[in-house]
Amino acid sequence: MQNQSFQFMLGGTPYEVKAVPFKFNEGTRYTVSINGSGEYVFAYDSNVGQYVPIDDDSSTIPQVVETEIAGRLLALAG
């Protein structure tokens, strides 16, 4: 498992994401930093079929940004 970084633009705003994978039980989770922010933990949720943030403060991530990151993490895990 390697650290990953990726960039994207949404609504004219650039985002730089750093994702660090780690094993938790049987699965892989990611510690994610967005534009140098603090870290959020994304875990795979089989009910929705994608990665979702599981931190209490993850509500500060805009939904469109969360969705883009979830898709990128799913592609990495695939």
The torsion angles phi and psi of 23, rounded to 5 degrees, stand at -80, 140
Q: Which domain holds residue 73?
A: 4-77
Give the DSSP H/E element, type plus range, for residue 77: helix 63-77
What is the band of 1 on the pLDDT scale with cuts at 50, 70, 90? low
Across-strand partners of 29?
22
Query: What local confidence, expressed as pLDDT, does residue 58 receive?
Result: 83
pLDDT, tens digit, 9 for 90 and up, residues 18-61: 999 999 998 999 999 999 988 999 999 999 999 999 988 888 89
In this structure, are residues 56 and 69 in contact, taking their beta carbons and an 8 Å threshold? no
In this structure, are residues 19 and 73 in contact, taking their beta carbons and an 8 Å threshold? yes
Query: What local confidence, expressed as pLDDT, does residue 2 receive?
Result: 83
Is the model's pTM score more than 0.85?
yes
Count of domains forming the chain: 1
In this structure, are residues 7 and 15 in contact, taking their beta carbons and an 8 Å threshold? yes
